Structure formats: C-alpha cells, structure tokens
Amino acid sequence: MTQKTLVIDLDRCIGCYACEIACKTENNVPLGVYYNKVLTIGPNGVYPDIHMYNLPTVCQNCREAPCVKVCPTGASYYTDDGQVLIDHEKCIGCRMCMAACPYGARSFNQDTKVVEKCTLCRHLQEVDSLPACVKACCAKARYFGDIDDPESDVSKAVAAAGPENVHSMPDKGNHPSVRYILHPKTGQWSDNPPKML
C-alpha cells in the first residue's frame, strides 16, 4: 500500500510560520483561512521545568477519513497514494465534511462556495516537487513521502526517533497518517491538542 503524508519534527520546529506563509502563497489561500496552521502548545509545567512546543496542523490524510464517508456527492475522495482531496466540481458546499473532520482541517471558501483544505500541494507533486511547506521549512522539520515505504524519508525519520517519541493526532477510528516527532526534552505531547480553527 502507499500512504503519502507528512512527518513533522517538533523538536526542530522553531515556530517561524514559514510553512503557513508558503502554503498561503502557493495555494492562494484567502485571508482568515489556513490549510496549515502553527499552534503553540504550552507553556506547561512549573518553573524551572517549563515546556512549550509549536504544533503545525494540517489535514491528517486519514486512512478512514470521516470527511470522505459523509460526503453526499463523492467530492471528497482518496487518491491512489492515500491522500484525501476535494473535487471542487462535485462539491455542493454542504459542509458535512467540515462537521465530520475531528481536527478542523477544512474551511469554506465564501467566494467559490466550496470546501477547501490542504492538498499537500498536489500540483507540485505532479512535477516531482515537494509541498511548499516542506520546501520552505528553514529548520528542516518537515518530511514528505510514503509512510508505508521503509526506505522513504518519512519512514526513516520515524524509525530514527523511536516509537515512544512518535505521536499522532487523537485517533477516533479515522487513523490519521501525519506523524509528529516530539522528545520529552522538548515537551510533553498533548493528547487533546486544539483544533486548527
């Protein structure tokens, strides 16, 4: 099987927002809308043991995506490589997918009257380029590739971190594919991170 996704190293993320800006610029994302949003988790703890980290949030490209299940027109669909996309020609703007997404990763475009989300820059992938957020990350905290391929950059990053330091958003039976690397020296993973929106 193939599952293209992101692995984000939170130990390296410096919260510079370059990924947010690159995403908005590359995809012409409207003001107030985010396909990629960096959240701050913390500070938590008691001085001098205080921890805080940055949490870039994106569509989790779930293996059992609730947005795909509830879409009445088939506008939300899976690609052959495991990504979840939206066919804007089929989208009727009912927003059922927005309600179904447990992470708040979808938004409604008031101008076009369709739902939008991160596409992992599918248009760039098609010309053998990386998503804009990965290319723009000055801390080299983002990896993109096939998580089911042990030789991919994402799989190697996950293996090097060790299973105890690899996390995902809360799984509600949807099996999110995005992985986050976070060691205890940087912060304590929150099992209830805030939604994107």
Q: How far apart are CA 29 and CA 41, in angstroms?
A: 24
Q: In b/e form, how buried is each residue of 72-106, taking b as 16+ CB within 10 angstroms?
A: eeebbeeeebbbbbbeeeebeeeebbbebbbbebb
Q: How far apart are CA 32 and CA 40, in angstroms?
A: 18
**113 phi/psi in degrees, rounded to 5:** 65, 35
pLDDT at position 164: 97
- Chain-centroid distance of CA 81 in Å reads 16
* 158-182 confidence digits (pLDDT tens): 999 999 999 999 999 999 999 999 9
Q: How far apart are CA 87 and CA 171, in angstroms?
A: 25
Q: How many CB atoms lie within 10 A of CB 143?
A: 23
Where would I find the H helices in 46-194? 66-70, 96-100, 122-125, 132-136, 153-161
Mean pLDDT, the chain, integer: 95
Q: How far apart are CA 92 and CA 182, in angstroms?
A: 39
Residue 52 has pLDDT above 70, yes or no: yes
pLDDT range class, residue 64, cuts 50, 70, 90: very high
pLDDT range class, residue 44, cuts 50, 70, 90: confident
Which of 55, 71, 28 has the alpha carbon at shortest distance from 170?
55
Average pLDDT rounded to a whole number, residues 128-149: 98
